[in-house]
Amino acid sequence: MAKYSTFPATFKRAGVTVAQVLDIQPPTETQGHLRSRAHDATSGWSTVIGSGARDLGPMTITLEFDPAAATHDALDGDINSTTLVSYAIVFPDGDTWTMNALCVSRAPGSLPAQDPTNETVDYTFEPDASIAKT
């Protein structure tokens, strides 16, 4: 069984609970590298050289969105900001992922006609560095 269950995980912005997390697409971690070719290489293959610089890709989180909640207004404002904000995902067992990130995308999901207060929204964040897991 997986260590992390996302239900009913919560999402926090600057220490304030914003919404329930429905889905998490964690970021991909990559290491910078270069490909090098030597003209006199006998193998015919290029060589890979690691640079040591790592990069953390975007993280997409699907939230259950309530348009009437003031906390969601603050999150929507982050899409227009160039300032890093502290975000956290708190899992049901108390484990927490925290990151300083830019909110770079907001994609509305479903909006059920029978209950329009239960909209889902995908937010994509670009973490500044690593995601702390406690």
- Rounded distance, CA 13 to CA 74, Å? 8
pLDDT of 42 higher than 60: yes
Instruction: Give CA–CA dist 96/8, Å, rounded.
Output: 13
Residues 6+ apart with CB under 8 A from 1: none
Give the pLDDT of residue 5.
Answer: 53
- Alpha-carbon dihedral sign for residues 69, 105, 126, 64: positive
Q: Is it true that the peptide bond before 8 is cis, omega within 30 degrees of 0?
A: yes
| pLDDT grade for 96, boundaries at 50, 70 and 90 | very high
Flag whether pLDDT at 43 surpasses 70: yes
Domain 10-30+57-133 has CATH 2.30.110: yes
Return the structure tokens found at 121.
């929204």
Dist. CA 62–CA 105, nearest whole Å: 12
Query: The pTM is what?
Result: 0.72
